[in-house]
Amino acid sequence: MKKISIWIPLITVISGCTPLTSEGSSILLSSEEPSVSSSIDETMQSALNALYEEQEKSFDFFWETTTTTPGSPGFGLSRDRWPGNPSIASIASVGFALAAIPSGVEQGLITFQEGYDRVLGTLTTLQNMTRVHGFYYHWVNMATGAREWNSEVSIIDTGLMLAGAIVAAEYFQGEIASVVDDIYLSVDWDWYVNPSIYMFYMGYKPETGFFGAWDHVAEQLLLYILAAGNPNFTYGNRLYNRIKFVAANFKKGYTSTTTGEVVPEFIYSYDGSLFQHQFSHAFIDFRTMLDYQGTDWFENARRATRANYLYSLDFADRYQTYSEVSWGISAGDGPNEYRAYGAQPAKNNVHNGTIVPYAAVASINYLEQESLQAVAHYATLDDLQTQYGFADAYNLGPVDDAYNPTIANLTPWFDFHVLGIDKGISLLMIENYRSELIWQLTMQNERIQSGLSALGFVNR
């Protein structure tokens, strides 16, 4: 287990215990009272227990809500959400489920053979599903694998599925690795490129064609690596270089109006949503490398997370949900919509007091102390608990109803859904915190290494 490095402020905030001395020695309060270090150990262990319980329940979501009917053309397809529409799977959720299985084996939740059989059956389904130039539809039917909701052929959801499949391939090897590589090589990345601007399109529908563009740094860093690692991709590093050129116009720091803390400059996303600094980072271990311009994507994500945390504090006087132990503004359900909520700095951010617990949970590798504080707090909220861990979101409303009357009329509100992609990012980041397993498996993959090399990434 990873050594925990930050202890004192967690105790000060959560339990109000007297901290250790500046030299770090423990103080016995009296012969009848336990030492402060003992109290620290107990409080930290409680927070860790809550963190690991969230991981286990997130795994249960994937293991229990996935189609497992023998011979079903939808075998291995994972729910988009629970207990929402039981017939809808998302391809990104399938990717997180595939990556979760090695974690489940290592944590003793399933056997190696159970994991192997589930992965191989899922890959058979993926091989047989309808694809467009190797790309998958965003939402599909749980039982048939057919397109649902007139959804788009999604590059980002396909990318997340491939990343999860690569994790499973590296863990199980053998036939599974061979099938995953076949699926990976079948993806025609060139087809999804807008050659006039050297950017990936945002999406594609057979009825209307391509639309949009990945024209800001967000959760898509993984796509450039996956594409560049494919020997059939002809654009090399041009798309990554192009997005880095654009990113130069979106750099800013953040100064907290509450604490005065200054977060140094970083590359921010369009809407300041925290998941955009998590999804690619759950697979690619950016701690170990810099890109061709010396960009440190791990530090960039850490700064973005710090700014998001401080932004929550800065609006705590306006929204009851925001505090030192309740933070993380990101995409998720809200009282009246699903939306990519976000914090500044951003080109265009929206927030309304909604907190999505996964945002802080999945920040465990960036802000250990603050993440553990949040997890410990979320575990105390009865209305936030579900069969599969923390519900997706909650909102206690504005401090003054007049500040946001619309939200005031809808709150206090606790979601009763959990989302596959949100459970997935929580599980993978927690596993990386505990063992670095997901990072290690992804980074040892030959295609991933080829992609990183082609884009000019170098070890520190």
pLDDT of residue 59: 98
Q: Helix 221-228 crosses helix 446-455 at what angle (to 10 degrees)? A: 100
pLDDT, tens digit (0-9, with 9 covering 90-100), for 136-172: 999 999 999 999 999 999 999 999 999 999 999 999 9
Give all domains of the chain, ordered by start, each with its CATH number.
Answer: 8-17+31-459 (1.50.10.140)
Average pLDDT over residues 86-95: 98
Q: Give the C-alpha separation, 381 to 170, whole Å.
A: 38
- The yes-or-no verdict on residue 40 having pLDDT over 80 is no
Q: How confident is the model at residue 16 (pLDDT cuts 50, 70, 90)?
A: very low
**What pLDDT score was predicted for residue 36?**
60
Average pLDDT of the residues of the chain: 92
DSSP label at 284? S
Which of these ranges, 10-19, 56-65, 80-89, 116-125, has the smallest mean pLDDT? 10-19
Contact 106, 441 (CB under 8 A): no
53, 412 Cβ separation under 8 angstroms: no
CA nearest neighbour of 427 among 98, 135, 42, 138 = 98
Residue 109 predicted with pLDDT over 50: yes
36 or 271: whose pLDDT is higher? 271
> Rounded mean pLDDT of 333-351?
97
Of all helices (H) and strands (E), which one includes residue 89? strand 88-90
Residues 6+ apart with CB under 8 A from 380: none
Largest Cα–Cα distance of the chain, in whole Å?
76
Least Cα distance to 193 among 246, 150, 240 occurs for: 240
Task: Tell me the C-alpha distance between 173 and 368, whole Å.
Answer: 33
Q: What is the pLDDT of residues 233-277, one digit of tens each?
A: 999 999 999 999 999 999 999 999 999 999 999 999 999 999 999
Nearest to 19 by CA among 30, 35, 5, 8: 8
Query: In this structure, which long-range contacts are made by residues 404-412, counting pairs with CB atoms below 8 Å and at least 24 apart in sequence?
Result: 404/352, 404/353, 406/336, 407/335, 407/352, 407/353, 410/335, 410/336, 411/335, 411/353, 412/320
The reported pLDDT for the residue numbered 37 is: 65
In percent, the amount of the chain with pLDDT more than 90 equals: 90
d(CA 414, CA 395): 6
Split at pLDDT 50, 70, 90, the class of 39 is: low
Q: Confidence band (pLDDT; 50, 70, 90) for 19?
A: very low
Cβ neighbourhood burial of 211 (10 Å; 0-12, 13-18, 19+): exposed
Q: Is the dihedral of CA 283, 298, 157, 86 positive or negative?
A: positive
Q: What is the mean pLDDT of residues 334-353?
A: 97
The reported pTM is 0.92
pLDDT of residue 42: 86
Residue position matching structure tokens 């907290």? 256
* pLDDT at residue number 38: 67
> How much is the pLDDT for 25?
28
**Nearest Cα residue to 15 out of 380, 385, 321, 312:** 380
pLDDT value at residue 43:
86
Could you report the per-residue pLDDT of 406-442, keeping only the tens digit for each? Answer: 999 999 999 999 999 999 999 999 999 999 999 999 9
> In this predicted model, what pLDDT tens digit does every residue of 293-340 receive, in sequence order?
999 999 999 999 999 999 999 999 999 999 999 999 999 999 999 999
d(CA 111, CA 431): 17
CA neighbor of 158 nearest in space, from 195, 121, 202: 202
